[in-house]
Amino acid sequence: MLNRVVLIGRLTKDPELRYTQNGIAVTSFTLAVDRNYKNAQGERETDFIPCVVFRQLAEHCANYLAKGKLAAVDGRIQVRSYEGQDGQRRWVTEVLGENVRFLSPKDNGFSSAPSITDDSFGSLAHEVSLDDDIPF
């Protein structure tokens, strides 16, 4: 079985950095990704895809990415559920990023930033429970 996704798009707003109760950094952001085809009016449609990254990768994304910046995210699709404050079950589909590459040129306000990989991603499931106060 395979669960792999690679996206290239622009951030729709500044990334949001927060920390779990265990002190693990979590950054979430949404990428706007154009579809490969045009609709009946001759316009390209766009998908808005939620992404989340953890640990040092989360901190780097919060520091180097901003609204409108171009980024590539390599990761996997995750579907999870939680109970809302109203007692209703809610489902969330998002990309869990394992590697992020900053694609906007330096002259757009970037300092030199390498691609960043979360090398500890494999152990993430053992250390972070989805019930660990991650409010998204």
Task: Give the pLDDT score at 104.
Answer: 87
- C-beta separation of 49 from 7 below 8 A: yes
Q: Report the CATH number that the domain containing residue 44 is assigned in CATH.
A: 2.40.50.140
**Count of C-beta atoms within a 10 Å radius of residue 101:** 15
Cα distance between residue 20 and residue 125, in whole Å: 14
Helix (H) / strand (E) containing 63: helix 55-64
Residue with tokens 């950095």: 17
pLDDT tens, the chain, 136 aa long: 999 999 999 999 999 999 999 999 999 999 999 999 888 899 999 999 999 999 999 999 999 999 999 999 999 999 999 999 999 999 999 999 999 999 988 654 444 444 455 554 443 333 333 344 444 4
Confidence (pTM)? 0.76
Residue 134 belongs to some domain of the structure: no
Q: What is the pLDDT of residue 98?
A: 96
Rounded Cα–Cα distance for residues 74 and 46 (Å): 19
Q: How many domains does the chain have?
A: 1
40 within a domain of the structure (yes/no): yes
